Structure formats: structure tokens, C-alpha cells
Amino acid sequence: MRAVGLQPAEAPAARSDRLAYLRRLASSVAGSGVLLFGLKLTGCALGLAMHLAFARLLGAAAYGTFATAFNAAALIALFAAGGVPLTASRFLPVYLSSGARAEARAFLETVAAVTVGGGLLGGGLLVGAALVLDASDVDQARALAAASPLVLLLAAAQTATALLQALHRPFAAEAAFLVVRPLAAIGVGAVLALPAFGLLNAVTALIAVGLASTAALVATARSLRRAIARHELTARGRPRLAIWVPPGLLLLFLVGGAALTERLDIIVVSAFADPEAAGIYSVAARFAALISLGTAAATVRALPLLAEQLQRGARDAAARTLAQASRAAFALAAAAGLMLATAAGPLLGLFGPGFQDGTTVLCLLAAAHVALAAGGAASTALIASGNERRIAYVTGLGILANVAANLLLVPRFGMTGAAAATCATMALTGLGLALTARQVLGLAVFAGRDLRAEGRV
């Protein structure tokens, strides 16, 4: 049979072994986080594509109005639930694994109530801001009013994502909003921009994002409902807000620090410069934020290692792990920052006329993220050792300094002043995190030495 090109039929046992091997391989790859990291990269690319499409279709000025309202809604949504959903990975698996079904149900009901209440309140704040601006800036007022439903949608999405991650469904948590939403928003926006309709403007673009977010939320909610249905949560428990709220607020501050800085910058630029500058700054900030992906990839493996090494007192090993993670994070950030700075003009030019004016802004913001990367691994070590409050303190000072510097520089230097303020304050934040790790843990961030053993701290 081999002579005429025929192969003997594969034995059933061999096929079964091969299929079992492929299943184990797929499970291993998925468990390693490689596919999830690829999904995040894809989501970042599609998010940029969505903003690219709206920038090209709207123009710099109208896109700036859209970006200001969108970022205001996203910023309020970030804080709408008070950080309680962020504690899901800490509490929900423990309740379910220990058979505490009543506590698990109480947690889920509390998270839902807090999210809906905070989302509605946040939407009302945007409507109030729109009424205040109606006499001075009609276009921005209408955009803020159109963005008000986004607060509840985005808050609900963040809550559903946190719960699905706690229930060990990371792909279901991320896929809809990273893939479905940008694709749907681009599709609806393209239809509205057709000559037969000619309806696309900042307001209708926000409505398109709202419709796309609704579709993504429905898909995510279905996945969440199926994940919860696997657990028979029939017993009712009492909310334990005193246990859930404090760590939630702390995690919210840690997670939301970078987003708060970026989105506040855009709002300040829009208020003290002009909508076009805000649109250009928003695009530059999105490109610069890509640098943080490399930093996260370099430090994600270091967190459990540092936690284990510090727990068993292996300080020399922890010093080496911290140094390796710090060097890798800084090297990846520096390489990405250099590439962005080199290609800043052409990249911004993709978004349409006028966006290349943000070349200096993008270079400054890239430098800001590179500087912050120097302290990225230091914050990982502080988390691993249970010193989250120290991170919150340093980050909080950085945010306050950033807001003050923006208010000082933006009225005079516009979006370039905002970028310079962010660059300076992010560099100080990174330095502050490194010095805190050195003082609290006695570890040299880049040198890989235990300073306590050397008697230097």
C-alpha cells in the first residue's frame, strides 16, 4: 500500500491518544495565559481601530468632543461601584469552595445593587454637567448627555468582567468587550456616515458606542448567568459591607490610578484648551498606554514568585526576582517607547489631518510610561508583601501632583503642557515606588541585592 501512496488506517487507540494530547496541549496553552494575552492585544488593536474610524469620519474637532464625553463616562464608570466588584476574586471563590452559598449570593446581590445604583448616579452627574455647559458649549453639553447611559453600561461591564474572572472564565470575561464592542461600534458608525444618511457626529458616535456596548454586555451577561447557574445559590445571606468595601476601595485606587491620570488629562485639555487638542491628546495617550502591556507581561510572573519567596524568607532570591522583573519591564518599555517616538508622526497621521500636531505629546507620554515602568516591578513586590497601602499613598500623591501641574501648565501650553506634566509626575511616581520598595522591603530594585543583609537599611 505504501508503494501506491496509501497509508494504513490509524488505530483507534492512537487517534484517541493524539486527541487527548491535543486537548492537554490546548489546556496548557490556555492556562498559561498566552491566549488571554493575545486576546488583550487583539482587543487593544480593535479599540484603536474604533477610535481611528471615528477620528477619520468625524475630524479632529468633533472627535475631540466625542473623546471628552467618552472619557468622562468611562472615568465615572470606573468609580461607580466603589471597587466592590474588584474584590470578587478574593471573596467569591472562597465562599463557593467552602460551601458558603448564602454569603456568595449576598455578595453577588450586593455587587449588582452597588453597580446599578452607582451607574445611575454617575449618569445623572453627566446629565447635570451637560445642563451646566448648555449655555457655554452646546456641542459638548449634548455629547455629555448622549454619553450618560454609557456610565451604567460600562460599570456593568466592569462588574461582569470581574465576576467572570473570579468564576474562572477569563475568556468570557474579556471577549465581548474587547472584540464585539469595537467591531459593532465601527459598523454602526460606518452606516451612520453613509451619504444616504449623513448622520454621524459626536452625539451619534456616542450613541453607536452605547449600542455596541449594550450588545457586548448582553453577551457577557449570558456567560455570567451560565457560570453562576452551576452553583445552587438558593440560600440568602446578609451583606457584609464592612468586609467588602474597604479592600474594594483600595483595589479601585490601585487599578484606577493610571486610568484616572490619563482621562483627567483629556478632560482638563478639553476645558482649558479646545476639543481638537483633546482629541489629539486622547489618541496620543492611547498609543502611549500600549507600553504598559509589555510592563504587565514582564511583571505578571514575578508576583507569585515574590509572594512565595518573601513568605519563606528567601530574601536573596526575592532580590534577584525583583531585579530581573525590573530590568525586563524597563527594557520592554524602553523598546516600545523608542518605536512609538520614532513612528509618532506617521502613526498619528493615520487618524487624519491635524493629528500629527500631537507628535511631541506622544513622545512625552511614551517617556512617561517608560519612566513609570522603572517602578512597575517595585509595585509588584509591594503587593506581594502586603504593602498595597504604600502603593496607594505614592500613587495618590502622583495623581494630585498631576492634576495640579495640569491646571498650571495646560492654560499656557495646551496639550503639550499636559503631556509634560504627566511625564514629570509619572517619573516621580516610578521613583517613589522604587524608593518605597527599597525602604520597606530592603530590596534594591535593579541591583538584585538584599540591602538589609548588607546592613544598608
Q: Distance between alpha carbon 430 and the CA centroid of its chain, in Å?
A: 18
Per-residue pLDDT of 212-231, as tens digits, reads: 999 999 999 999 999 998 88
Please report whether residue 8 resides in a domain: no
For the segment 244-266, the average pLDDT, to the nearest whole number, is 79
Mean pLDDT of the chain: 85
Residues 346 and 410 in one domain: yes
Last residue within a domain, chosen from 175, 209, 239:
239
Please report whether residue 5 resides in a domain: no
Last residue within a domain, chosen from 174, 205, 239:
239
pLDDT tier at 23, thresholds 50, 70, 90: low
Residues 219 and 312 in one domain: no
Per-residue pLDDT of 402-449, as tens digits, reads: 999 999 999 999 999 999 999 999 999 989 988 998 888 887 777 666
**Least confidently predicted of 51-55, 84-88, 113-117, 250-254:** 250-254
The more confident residue out of 136 and 448 is 136
Residues 138 and 92 in one domain: yes
Residues 321 and 362 in one domain: yes
Q: What pLDDT was estimated at residue 449?
A: 61
C-alpha cell at 189: 458608525
Residues 270 and 407 in one domain: yes
pLDDT tier at 36, thresholds 50, 70, 90: low
Q: What pLDDT was estimated at residue 283?
A: 93
Residues 170 and 260 in one domain: no
Q: What pLDDT was estimated at residue 29?
A: 44
> Does pTM top 0.85 for this prediction?
no
Residues 214 and 293 in one domain: no
Please report whether residue 42 resides in a domain: yes
pLDDT tier at 20, thresholds 50, 70, 90: low
Compute CA distances 445 → 273, 337, 384, whole Å. Answer: 39, 21, 14
Residues 104 and 226 in one domain: yes
End-to-end distance of the chain based on CA atoms, in angstroms? 77
pLDDT tier at 253, thresholds 50, 70, 90: confident
Last residue within a domain, chosen from 239, 274, 298:
239
pLDDT at 91 over 60: yes
Which residues form the domain of 85? 36-239
Q: What pLDDT was estimated at residue 358?
A: 94
Half-sphere exposure of 235 (CA within 13 A, CB side): 11
Please report whether residue 20 resides in a domain: no
Please report whether residue 16 resides in a domain: no
pLDDT tier at 3, thresholds 50, 70, 90: very low
Residues 329 and 419 in one domain: yes
294: closest CA among 387, 372, 379, 178? 372
Measure the CA–CA gap between 218 and 200, rounded to whole angstroms. 25
Helices then strands (H, E): number in the chain? Answer: 18, 0
C-alpha cell at 88: 470578587
Residues 233 and 361 in one domain: no
Please report whether residue 22 resides in a domain: no
For the segment 104-131, the average pLDDT, to the nearest whole number, is 95
pLDDT tier at 186, thresholds 50, 70, 90: very high
What angle is formed at CA 407 by the lines to CA 401 and CA 409, rounded to 5 degrees?
95
Q: What pLDDT was estimated at residue 6?
A: 47
Total domains present in the chain: 2
Please report whether residue 160 resides in a domain: yes
The answer to whether the CB of 344 falls within 8 A of the CB of 359 is yes
Residues 54 and 139 in one domain: yes
Please report whether residue 396 resides in a domain: yes
pLDDT at 245 over 60: yes
The more confident residue out of 332 and 23 is 332
Measure the CA–CA gap between 142 and 140, rounded to whole angstroms. 5
